[in-house]
Chains A and B, each alone.
Chain A
Amino acid sequence: MPKDGSSSPNLVMDNPLSQNPDSSWSRFFRNAEMERMVDQDLSRLYPEHGNYFQTPGCQGILRRILLLWCLRHPECGYRQGMHELLAPVLYVLQFDVECLLEVRKLYEDHFTDRFDGLFCQENDLSYSFDFRKSSDLMEDEIDSYENLTKIKSLDELDPKIQNIVLLSDAYGAEGELGVVLSEKFIEHDAYCMFDALMNGARGSIAMADFFSYSPLPGSHTGLPPVIEASAALYHLLSHVDSFLHGHLVDLGVEPQYFALRWLRVLFGREFSLSNLLIIWDEIFSSDNSKVEKHAQDNADSGFRIFNSSRGAFISAMAVAMMLHIRSSLLAAENPTTCLQRLLNFPENTNVEKLIEKAKSLQALALSTEILSSMPSFVECHTKGKSAIARSRTLSSESISPKTPLTLVPDSYWEEKWRVVHKAEELKQDGVEKQVPTWKKGWTEKVKLSLKRTESDPSSSRTKSGKKESKLPVRRCLLVDLSKELGFEEDTEKLCCHDNLSATVEEEQREDGSEGSNNYSPEDRCLSQNTSSEENSPVISCPASPPNEANDHKDDSQKSSVGSNLSLDIINETSLSSSPIDSPLPISDHPENGPQTPGRNNINNSAGNSTTNSERKLNKFQWLWKFGRNNGEFMSEKGGDTSEAAKPANNCNNQSNTTPSSTANNCNNHSNTIPSSTAKNCNNQSNIIPSSTANGHRRSVSCQGESTDQNVMGTIRNIGQSMLEHIRVIECAFQQDRGQGASLDNMSKNAVVGKGQVNAVSALKELRKISNLLSEM
């Protein structure tokens, strides 16, 4: 840093007033400015942990590292936020060294190396600050070492301490590791680690990129990296939760408004330091090397952040965070409120759960299909169509979804509501009449195909046939729409000749057999071997009955009285998973009510299997795709979590076989408020109702899990997630009212319109249901 212009031969260029940016004087001024900026930021670093970070020693280390790094990377310079990437690194190093020193003091005999003493005897002032006094965070742990009594042999030590001793043995097997935890080299180590973090250590994610405002060479988007990464977050979000994505986009919340901060300091502002370290552990344990994306030549297209598993995790983490505050984001009606919520992340967050969710999303981010930067709803549309084409012969269910997500009209819900209500009254009496004879024949067929299947009647399942006619009208609405949007059928076809398909079909049969448990478990193996060959007959079976069958079934289900809350969970299940009718074109089926065949007969006899297997075709693909072995997701987490987790699993298991279906499914599972309150949804045309996801989940739990425990756990979670959604709706209502009026007050209020009343009572009912569910 030349401070004297006279040393330069060219005084015309090198003088203090020179405007030339290359002159040593202007460099000098720039560097002085940078120093000032660094100092200013460091003085504001972690005020809540000021007793460590604000000590002169710590500030000195941070300052030297930052200045050195920035001088060595003039193209980057110092940008606000870098200091918060460095600080945790130094903190961790210091913490480890401090632990080592404590242990060393207590177990001096076991330490054989004198490395520090030999090589670094000069006393550096920068290390002389009293670290112990400052690090209240560390004291608990350190105290615990002090309580230990002296132990003679290394083997008697706590394994943790043994490890520390061994690691620091400069002459032991680990050799240079002794240097790693040396107090003298904290600053050096911190610099190297910071440098590796910033430059990516030849990996894909280099934090310095996020501070750059020019596009990287070879960038396909032509955007500055941080903007590109922000867009990538939204892209991932749109795959996971298209409704939330749509909401944010509609409000005009651009991702970089909040993602810039999230990314630049790697979530450092969103979490407390202790939580941040947990998250960073996870981030840095993800591989940063470029993932080879198979199957596509243009693997590099799309978003760079998805090119490594670390980048994928970072973006998955961000999406998990958005999902975590999903309901409050959805309740926000203007962009500023949204952004305020995004930038004031709740402090009491369970980081482990977030990480778990992020991990499940990471797979999705890495999957090949996320690469296609096509907007997700377009994908949905086209793929949905092709799915229909392919699966037309599969079952009568697949006829329906001709209407793409985005085309559900505003008035749809209201209309549906009215129709179903009417139908309900009409059919209340006509439900329990007789089974048509053809139906029996059909049942026989199904039985035949089930012959080799093990029956697995869980207690909850066997109930399923009994109370089908007691479903709230509102459910029907949701179910209808969910069916309209059901695109799952294509999976079946795609994996027909896959070995895996055997399992799916077997499950189908398994389920179908529940009404008539005649089949021995040993048969299972047989079916496993043969089912592949039998794909087509089995699959086409459900298609063979006339479409009437479906109509009938629906009718009976719809004939339930809305207010009847006897609430057999399984009952709900069968409803929500009933075959797909396209509500728009086939909206007349409620009028068919009177000719409905006797539901009870069907349900209580073996005919049950008919319905079930029909339904299965749809449900099971879904179940299978979303990882039926992932009961832990469902039982451990609330609705949103499992929801988010599923698409990822799906990709994990299936990205090869069902490349097109993931997006559809993701969209299907973006459960939303408006379903129950028809009022709320009119500006979002691409909404999928909440019960789509709920219904699916329910059916999964009932049919896929083999143990009651899992089922119950799932049900409880469903209940909880429903409650969560209901809260969102209530929240929206309350906002509308301009005050925190309770639902009861609201419905009594004179000004309330009729639709409003309906919606509110629907809400109340939903709440009852979900309370029951979550109490199971």
Chain B
Amino acid sequence: MGAYRADEDYDYLFKVVLIGDSGVGKSNLLSRFTKNEFSLESKSTIGVEFATRSIRVDDKVLKAQIWDTAGQERYRAITSAYYRGAVGALLVYDVTRHVTFENVERWLKELRDHTDANIVVMLVGNKADLRHLRAVSTEETTNFAEREKTFFMETSALESLNVESAFTEVLTQIYHVVSKKALEIGDDPAALPKGQTINVGSRDDASAVKKDGCCSA
């Protein structure tokens, strides 16, 4: 297929999962990031929904394949499939509902049980626009994030605050992890992405590296 295969030009494809309690605004974060849309009347997610968006970091195009999962914890039937191959995660809670922050710990545990240790996790406190209703302080989360060695950001999908930077930060960090891995292997990072699968996770099937243009199909 040669040169005609490249329908999308990207250098890296990363699978990122959006997790967190039901109703914290995961789907709206996603639609804000991928479509710049926000809806006050969105339905609850059932199962999983998908979206993609590519961003440019350095001179590389990173394509994010984002899995927006249903918040209800009981969807365990397929959780392991959700997490499989994920190299990044946005763990979302609602700054106006403290219980969603309390559950972050459980989400984190589940995440770490199902994914590789190198996964990039960002804690996202959503609905930051509802300042008068705030129930989770920034300090509280900052401490927690430091302890758990995750990234942290407060966002508002409604006001489009920090949404872009949260996703970009996660993707950039993943990219750094990948590049660092390549360095450790001892190769020139520029020579790395030659149709080779980067093992950020142990058996990483979704987040492969793809050279734009002429990879052999």
Q: Which residues of chain B come closer than 8 Å to A733, judged between CB atoms? A: 4
A585 at the binding interface (Cβ < 8 Å): no
B191 at the binding interface (Cβ < 8 Å): no
Partner of B50, one of A41, A226, A340: A340
Asked if B41 and A44 make an inter-chain contact with CB atoms under 8 angstroms apart, the answer reads yes
Kindly provide the distance from the CB of B135 to the nearest chain A CB, expressed in whole angstroms.
14
Please measure, in the bound complex, the distance between the C-alpha atom of A369 and the C-alpha atom of B198, giving whole angstroms: 43
Q: What does the 1/0 interface line of B22-45 toward A look like (CB < 8 Å)?
A: 110000000000000000011111
Partner of B72, one of A37, A333, A680: A37
Asked if A336 and B65 make an inter-chain contact with CB atoms under 8 angstroms apart, the answer reads yes
Partner of A264, one of B6, B13, B46, B49: B46
Asked if A256 and B44 make an inter-chain contact with CB atoms under 8 angstroms apart, the answer reads no
B185 at the binding interface (Cβ < 8 Å): no
Q: Chain A interface mostly helix, strand, loop or mixed?
A: helix
Query: A260-B47, A265-B46, A737-B4 are known contacts. Are A213 and B77 too (CB-CB below 8 A)?
Result: yes
Kindly provide the distance from the CB of A261 to the nearest chain B CB, expressed in whole angstroms.
4
Partner of A736, one of B6, B44, B46, B206: B6
The interface centre, meaning the residue of B5, B44, B65 with most chain A CB atoms within 10 A of its CB, is B44
Asked if B78 and A227 make an inter-chain contact with CB atoms under 8 angstroms apart, the answer reads yes
A524 at the binding interface (Cβ < 8 Å): no
Q: What does the 1/0 interface line of A315-353 toward B look like (CB < 8 Å)?
A: 000000000000000000111110110010000000000
Please measure, in the bound complex, the distance between the C-alpha atom of A737 and the C-alpha atom of B6, giving whole angstroms: 7
Asked if A257 and B81 make an inter-chain contact with CB atoms under 8 angstroms apart, the answer reads yes
Partner of B52, one of A81, A260, A269, A336: A336
Q: Could you say which interface size class chain B belongs to?
A: 35 or more
Q: Which residues of chain A come closer than 8 Å to B217, judged between CB atoms? A: 682-683
Partner of A257, one of B1, B48, B51, B74: B48
Q: Which residues of chain B come closer than 8 Å to A45, judged between CB atoms? A: 43
Query: A47-B43, A682-B217, A738-B9 are known contacts. Are A343 and B50 too (CB-CB below 8 A)?
Result: yes
B186 at the binding interface (Cβ < 8 Å): no
Please measure, in the bound complex, the distance between the C-alpha atom of A736 and the C-alpha atom of B8, giving whole angstroms: 9
- Which of chain A's residues 223-276 have a Cβ closer than 8 Å to chain B? 224, 226-227, 252, 254, 256-258, 260-261, 264-265, 269
A751 at the binding interface (Cβ < 8 Å): yes
Q: Which residues of chain A come closer than 8 Å to B81, judged between CB atoms? A: 254, 256-257
Q: Which residues of chain A come closer than 8 Å to B75, judged between CB atoms? A: 80, 213, 260
Q: Which residues of chain B come closer than 8 Å to A679, judged between CB atoms? A: 1, 4
Kindly provide the distance from the CB of B193 to the nearest chain A CB, expressed in whole angstroms.
17
Please measure, in the bound complex, the distance between the C-alpha atom of A274 and the C-alpha atom of B52, giving whole angstroms: 31
Query: A80-B22, A333-B7, A683-B217 are known contacts. Are A736 and B1 too (CB-CB below 8 A)?
Result: yes
Q: What does the 1/0 interface line of A25-64 toward B look like (CB < 8 Å)?
A: 0000000000001001100111110100000000000000
Partner of B51, one of A40, A50, A252, A340: A340
B131 at the binding interface (Cβ < 8 Å): no
Q: What does the 1/0 interface line of A264-293 toward B look like (CB < 8 Å)?
A: 110001000000000000000000000000
Kindly provide the distance from the CB of B99 to the nearest chain A CB, expressed in whole angstroms.
9
B109 at the binding interface (Cβ < 8 Å): no
Q: Which residues of chain A come closer than 8 Å to B3, judged between CB atoms? A: 736, 751
A753 at the binding interface (Cβ < 8 Å): yes
Kindly provide the distance from the CB of B113 to the nearest chain A CB, expressed in whole angstroms.
16
Please measure, in the bound complex, the distance between the C-alpha atom of A40 and the C-alpha atom of B74, giving whole angstroms: 16
The interface centre, meaning the residue of B5, B23, B43 with most chain A CB atoms within 10 A of its CB, is B43
Please measure, in the bound complex, the distance between the C-alpha atom of A372 and the C-alpha atom of B139, giving whole angstroms: 59
Partner of A40, one of B1, B22, B206: B22
Partner of B77, one of A227, A258, A682: A227
Q: Which residues of chain B come closer than 8 Å to A110, judged between CB atoms? A: none
Asked if B74 and A79 make an inter-chain contact with CB atoms under 8 angstroms apart, the answer reads yes
Please measure, in the bound complex, the distance between the C-alpha atom of A765 and the C-alpha atom of B149, giving whole angstroms: 61
B147 at the binding interface (Cβ < 8 Å): no
Asked if B50 and A260 make an inter-chain contact with CB atoms under 8 angstroms apart, the answer reads no
Residue of A nearest to B51 (CB): A340
- Which of chain A's residues 465-510 have a Cβ closer than 8 Å to chain B? none
B187 at the binding interface (Cβ < 8 Å): no
Q: 26 A-B pairs, CB-CB below 8 angstroms?
A: A37-B22, A41-B44, A44-B41, A44-B44, A46-B43, A47-B41, A77-B74, A80-B70, A213-B74, A226-B77, A227-B78, A252-B205, A256-B77, A260-B77, A260-B78, A261-B46, A264-B46, A264-B47, A269-B46, A334-B8, A334-B13, A335-B206, A340-B50, A680-B1, A682-B1, A738-B9
Using a CB–CB distance below 8 Å, which chain A residues touch chain B? Answer: 37, 40-41, 44-48, 50, 77, 79-81, 84, 213, 224, 226-227, 252, 254, 256-258, 260-261, 264-265, 269, 333-337, 339-340, 343, 679-680, 682-683, 733, 735-738, 751, 753, 756
State the 10 A-B residue pairs at the shortest beta-carbon distance, nearest first: A736-B4, A47-B41, A735-B7, A260-B47, A213-B77, A261-B47, A261-B46, A224-B77, A339-B50, A80-B72
8 new A-B pairs (CB below 8 Å) besides A77-B74, A264-B46?
Answer: A44-B41, A44-B43, A46-B43, A48-B41, A80-B22, A80-B71, A333-B8, A736-B3
